[in-house]
């Protein structure tokens, strides 16, 4: 008998979602640390680029939006700030704590009339994603 | 006394608590210093908008928008009149001295301007009210 766990391919949507989510998480953590260090030591992107030995334009691009950063790049950026990353924490879905918010794309449930209305949009002029919701409070 | 007030707070994150309340994380000051040109985009910028009004006051529709230093505007949320009335009736029913509506705006990949002010305005009854402002100050002139 065929094992469903072993043979069922994961939906492409899930694969794409988790890839992007991991990129976003790593990016957020990295930018947050670099921002903190840059503020603390009054560093510019040019300073960081010189420490890494790369073109300032590349550093600017890396820090402007989440991308598929290589482990080597992350290591180089952190080393430039006298830091390193610990190995990522791996968690099985069944062991995760229940979230207090589930992205509707993953929850796969239609929004109800009871909860706050959520509107998502993208503004190409500023290249920003906007998620807005409102409620009586 | 003005029968309503509008307020917008800029912060770095917001958590939705189990009891329906919110926790705002690192509320930004009105002026934010930019350290040179590092780094680039803010991973996340949260705008928490709240309108409080006296339950007997007919607020009507309220439109919130963000105004960039260039003068360009980004619509954020429209509190429609019927919905505002629900808040009004809800406050009257509970005997609360204030009715309120709130909106949470989560902006991903926000690129701060090199300088200038980003503001949040709310339009009520054809008048525009400043709810909040975030001024980006370049390092050279921040003193």
pLDDT in tens, A5-51: 566 787 888 888 888 889 988 998 999 899 889 888 988 889 999 99
Q: Is residue A60 part of a domain?
A: yes
Residue A101 token pair: 């918010």
B38, B71, B102: which to substitute to probe chain A, counting the most A Cβ within 10 Å? B38
Range of the domain at A36: 10-80
Q: Domains of chain B: which residue ranges?
A: 4-141
Closest Cα of chain A to B70: distance in Å?
11
Whether residue B7 is predicted with pLDDT greater than 90 in this model: the reply is yes
Predicted confidence band of residue A111 (pLDDT cuts 50, 70, 90): very low
Q: pLDDT higher for B11 or B113?
A: B11
Closest Cα of chain B to A8: distance in Å?
33
Residues of B in contact with A136 (CB under 8 A): 83, 86-87, 90, 99-102
Chain A interface includes B86 (CB < 8 A): yes
Q: Is residue A24 part of a domain?
A: yes
Q: Tell me the CATH number at A42.
A: 1.10.260
Whether residue B143 is predicted with pLDDT greater than 50 in this model: the reply is no
Tell me which residue of B40, B16, B44, B41 sits closest to B28, measured CA to CA.
B44
**For residues B64-91, average pLDDT:** 92
Indicate the number of domains in chain A.
Answer: 1
Q: Is residue A70 part of a domain?
A: yes
Rounded to 5 degrees, what are φ and ψ at B27? -70, 130
Q: For residue A92, what is the DSSP state?
A: -
Q: Is residue A5 part of a domain?
A: no
- pLDDT > 70: percent of chain A: 79
Predicted confidence band of residue A2 (pLDDT cuts 50, 70, 90): very low
Architecture of the structural domain at B4-141: Sandwich (2.60)
């Amino acid at each position: 008998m065929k094992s469903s766990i072993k043979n069922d391919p994961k939906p492409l949507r899930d694969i794409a979602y988790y890839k992007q989510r991991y990129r976003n998480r790593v990016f957020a953590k990295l930018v947050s640390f670099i921002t903190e260090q840059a503020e603390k030591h009054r560093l510019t992107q040019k300073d960081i680029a010189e420490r890494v030995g790369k073109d300032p334009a590349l550093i600017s691009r890396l820090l402007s939006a989440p991308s598929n950063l290589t482990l080597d790049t992350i290591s180089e950026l952190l080393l430039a700030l006298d830091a390193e990353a610990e190995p990522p924490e791996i968690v099985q879905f069944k062991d995760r704590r229940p979230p207090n918010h589930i992205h509707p794309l993953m929850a796969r449930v239609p929004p109800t009339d009871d909860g706050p209305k959520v509107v998502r949009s993208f503004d190409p002029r500023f290249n920003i994603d906007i998620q807005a919701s409102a409620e009586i409070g | 006394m003005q029968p309503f007030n509008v307020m917008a707070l800029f912060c770095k994150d917001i958590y939705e608590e189990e009891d329906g309340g919110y926790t705002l994380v690192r509320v930004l000051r009105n002026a934010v210093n930019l350290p040179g040109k590092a780094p680039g985009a803010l991973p996340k910028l949260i705008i928490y908008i709240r309108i409080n009004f006296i339950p007997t006051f007919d607020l009507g529709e309220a439109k919130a928008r963000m105004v960039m230093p260039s003068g360009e505007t980004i619509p954020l949320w429209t509190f429609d009149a019927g919905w505002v009335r629900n808040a009004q009736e809800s406050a009257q029913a509970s005997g609360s001295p204030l009715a309120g509506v709130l909106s949470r705006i989560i902006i991903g990949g926000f690129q701060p301007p090199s300088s200038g002010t980003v503001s949040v305005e709310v339009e009520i009854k054809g008048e525009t009210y400043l709810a909040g402002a975030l001024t980006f100050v370049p390092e050279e002139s921040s003193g």
